[in-house]
Amino acid sequence: CIPGLRQKAPERELVIFPAPPDTARIQFLTSFSNSGEIAGKRSAFSTYVLGEAPEQEIVKPYGLAVAGGKIYICDTMLGGLEIVDLAKNRFGYFTPGGLGQLKKPINCCVDEAGFLYVADSERRQVVVF
């Protein structure tokens, strides 16, 4: 080796695989965890007449679906779903009884006809509402 004849290694172009998407597919807009953040607070008159309304919590969300301006959230601890209507600022629990009682709902979807399909891992069934 002759000193000074050593060549510098060519710089390599950084390769990222797989290539990142052109536009972001997920955008974080906001978060909510209870009914108070959706429905807001009652007026003083409503509170006087109806009393304090306990906030309904999202306990353990698992799967969700969005249809018709509503968000359907499967809650494995609740044994049902939370339904958030963003257009009407409403939040409610959906906990059916009888033959449709849910034990551990893990995912859901809504079809074009408005039927709600809920996959229940403990029942090992898909329940249709």
Question: What is the residue extent of each domain of the chain?
Answer: 35-128
Instruction: Please state which of the four CATH numbers 3.40.50.300, 2.130.10.10, 2.40.10.500, 3.40.228.10 is assigned to the domain occupying 35-128.
Output: 2.40.10.500
* Token pair 């209870």 in the structure block, residue: 34
Q: What residues contact residue 88 under an 8 Å CB cut-off, 6+ apart?
A: none
Q: Which of these, 67, 61, 124, 119, lies nearest to 93 by C-alpha position?
A: 61
Residues of the chain with confidence (pLDDT) below 70:
1-10, 21, 24-29, 47, 53
Give me the pLDDT at residue 7, please: 65
